[in-house]
Amino acid sequence: MAETEREAMEYDVVIVGAGPAGLSAAIRLKQLDADLDVVVLEKGSEVGAHILSGAVLDPCGLNALIPDWKEKGAPLNTPVREDNFYMLGQGGKLRVPGWPMPPLMSNHGNYIVSMGNVCRWMAEQAEELGVEVFPGMACSEMVYDENGAVKGVVAGEFGRNPDGTPGASYEPGMELHGKYVFLSEGVRGSLSKEVIEKFDLSAGKEPQKFGLGMKEIWEVDPDKHNEGEVTHTMGWPLGSNAGGGSFIYHLENNQVYVGFVVHLNYQNPHLYPYMEFQRFKHHPMVAELLKGGKRVAYGARAITEGGYQSMPKMVAPGVALLGCSVGMVNVPRIKGNHNAMLSGKAAAEAAHEAIKAGRAGDALDAYEADVREGAIGKDLRKVRNVKPMWSKWGLLPSLALGGLDMWTNTMGFSLFGTLKHGKTDAAATGEAAKFKKIDYPKPDGKLSFDRLTNVSYSMTNHEENQPCHLTLKDASVPIAVNLPKYDEPAQRYCPAGVYEVVREEGKEPKFVINFQNCVHCKTCDIKDPTQNIHWVTPQGGDGPNYPNM
């Protein structure tokens, strides 16, 4: 195929992704030097459309970036007023008191927010400072210079036919060149994956680990609503099948975020994370809250869980990885937004120094040092053993030992050193014949819903006349390998019902990809046991359209 010719635009810094990391970087760059040319490109139809982390926000990142955020009208309206933690059994619950936990686990001083709305507000702040923010612009390719350094990205390509050839309304998009390119695509970014591989940035690090987070927004009976209440649970229904747990956050306007995370290192390929979430809502504690209420939105997104020991090297010539493109979630706190913001700020400061000194296209080592040795590294180091303990020893021992380890780490030492994660989540998947099938109750349509009905509540939309963005390295693998060996788990791990094995009498089973349903969670790219599915970005503006997730 002939090489596509594109116009190029020059910037000081090109930022891919308008999440908390990318927007913080953009804001900080312009705070430091109003004359810098900074552009932010976002694949969602608007800023916030793909942001799912409705969230308890530790404001430390925002405090460092925009200390007067309150006066500037940041949508942090609901301080946490009550913090509960329960171990669930099928019909009951056991309250876990807060006192054995180290102070870092407390939510005092944090806010329940819609991160989608926080990002919309941050984009306004960035634009006021002169940042160019372009939603609906998916960055589909990296651009390298003749020495192999990152020079820019391709954004805004539209109108390819399903077979990849240019269609009648084909737009080649543009090359956006920068002295530095920041990849702030969030968890399992497609360009970040390419850059990590190209520059071998994961060498010597533990594999990244992930969870799948699913979330619904409910409007509940005002009598049951308790603005500012935060509840986390562990235990039922996952039991020993997988690690994970739930969160229930009461925000404003009688709304409640009800979410569920399943760690993706589960072995039993029959596990169906979406149905675990649906089953969870039938626990008496949750059912009582939701009864008479209304689900108004649904979404899903992977979350990074590898923490400190899994962070790849985050700089290479011309490029820096920010936020969850690196993986900066503090797992026991289920918080990554504060670190995403701090990383954006740190990357901006390093780039500003470099540009001021006349540099361009080199590795921003000062940024990496800031992340590892500064506030982010300190936050993640203290909790680095919690996830590997959970994976190795299960829930209860890891609660006790993880608590102890977080305490000793708060005092500056660990009895365990730094534990390893071992396998990738894909490699953790076991063979179907060795595990029991799991019987899931049918959704009742009141508290629990089937997958496709719920996907319609994510307002997901993809132009159908384009190449499928869920690419297979080998099209035969799902039926020839994954089906006999793993009962093709894509049918179950995808929270949006994208993958089906269709069986018709007298015919071979067929693997069908309904890419129109994809909510961009990236679970398939992570969990496919043969690592045959490669998620690439569809054209800009496609995907979910989350309201205030």
**One-letter amino acid of 201:** L
Q: Locate 427 and state its tokens.
A: 């490699």
Question: CA torsion sign, 20 to 376 to 249 to 226?
Answer: negative
Least CB distance from residue 140 to ligand FAD, whole Å?
A: 7
Q: How many CB atoms are closer than 10 A to CB 34?
A: 9
Does residue 117 belong to the site contacting ligand FAD (CB under 6 A)? no
Does residue 310 belong to the site contacting ligand FAD (CB under 6 A)? no
Least CB distance from residue 432 to ligand FAD, whole Å?
A: 27
18 to 47: interface string for ligand FAD, x by CB under 6 A: xxxxx------------------xxxx---
- CA distances to 273, 278, 329, 512 from 114, rounded to whole Å, are 24, 22, 17, 34
Q: If we measure between CA atoms, which residue out of 363, 359, 360, 320 comes closest to residue 343?
A: 320
Q: Please list every residue from 2 through 21 that binds ligand FAD, using CB under 6 A.
A: 16-21
- Applying CB under 6 A, the span of 185-193, 197-205, 379-387, 406-414 interacting with ligand FAD comes to 185-193
Considering only 12, 185, 349, 368, the residue that binds ligand FAD (CB under 6 A) is 185
Least CB distance from residue 485 to ligand FAD, whole Å?
A: 29
Q: How far apart are CA 6 and CA 156, in angstroms?
A: 11
Residue 356 CA from chain centroid, whole number:
33
Q: Which is nearer to ligand FAD, 22 or 478 (CB)?
A: 22
Q: Which is nearer to ligand FAD, 139 or 363 (CB)?
A: 139
- Contact criterion met (CB below 8 Å) for 545 and 461: yes
Does residue 101 belong to the site contacting ligand FAD (CB under 6 A)? no
Q: If we measure between CA atoms, which residue out of 396, 392, 401, 383 comes closest to residue 421?
A: 392
Considering only 36, 38, 51, 76, the residue that binds ligand FAD (CB under 6 A) is 51
Least CB distance from residue 476 to ligand FAD, whole Å?
A: 28
> Which residues of 104-173 form beta strands (DSSP E)?
111-113, 132-134, 139-144, 150-155, 158-160, 166-171
Q: How far apart are CA 6 and CA 8, in angstroms?
A: 6
Least CB distance from residue 537 to ligand FAD, whole Å?
A: 4
Least CB distance from residue 480 to ligand FAD, whole Å?
A: 31
> Which residues of 290-425 form beta strands (DSSP E)?
294-304, 315-316, 319-321
Q: Which helix (H) or strand (E) holds 346?
A: helix 337-356
Q: Which is nearer to ligand FAD, 190 or 208 (CB)?
A: 190
Q: How far apart are CA 241 and CA 275, in angstroms?
A: 13
Does residue 293 belong to the site contacting ligand FAD (CB under 6 A)? no
In degrees, rounded to 5, the angle at the alpha carbon of residue 298 between the alpha carbons of residues 510 and 328 is 95
Does residue 334 belong to the site contacting ligand FAD (CB under 6 A)? yes
Least CB distance from residue 469 to ligand FAD, whole Å?
A: 11
b or e along 158-188 (b: 16 or more beta carbons within 10 Å of the residue's beta carbon)?
bbbeeeeeeeeeeebbbbbbbbbbbbbbbbb
Nearest 10 degrees: Cα torsion 60, 37, 139, 7:
180
Q: Which is nearer to ligand FAD, 261 or 513 (CB)?
A: 261
Q: CB-based burial of residue 201 (10 Å sphere; 0-12 exposed, 13-18 middle, 19+ buried)?
A: buried
Considering only 36, 57, 174, 275, the residue that binds ligand FAD (CB under 6 A) is 57
Q: Which is nearer to ligand FAD, 16 or 401 (CB)?
A: 16
Least CB distance from residue 363 to ligand FAD, whole Å?
A: 20
Q: How far apart are CA 110 and CA 58, in angstroms?
A: 5
Least CB distance from residue 335 to ligand FAD, whole Å?
A: 3
Binding residues for ligand FAD, total number by CB under 6 A: 41
- Applying CB under 6 A, the span of 77-85, 327-335, 388-396, 463-471 interacting with ligand FAD comes to 327-335
- Applying CB under 6 A, the span of 142-150, 187-195, 232-240, 376-384 interacting with ligand FAD comes to 187-195
The three-state secondary structure class of 287 is helix
Q: Please list every residue from 206 through 265 that binds ligand FAD, using CB under 6 A.
A: 213, 215, 259
- Residues near ligand FAD (CB under 6 A) are 16-22, 41-44, 50-53, 55-57, 138-139, 184-186, 189-191, 213, 215, 259, 301, 303, 323-324, 329, 334-338, 340, 537
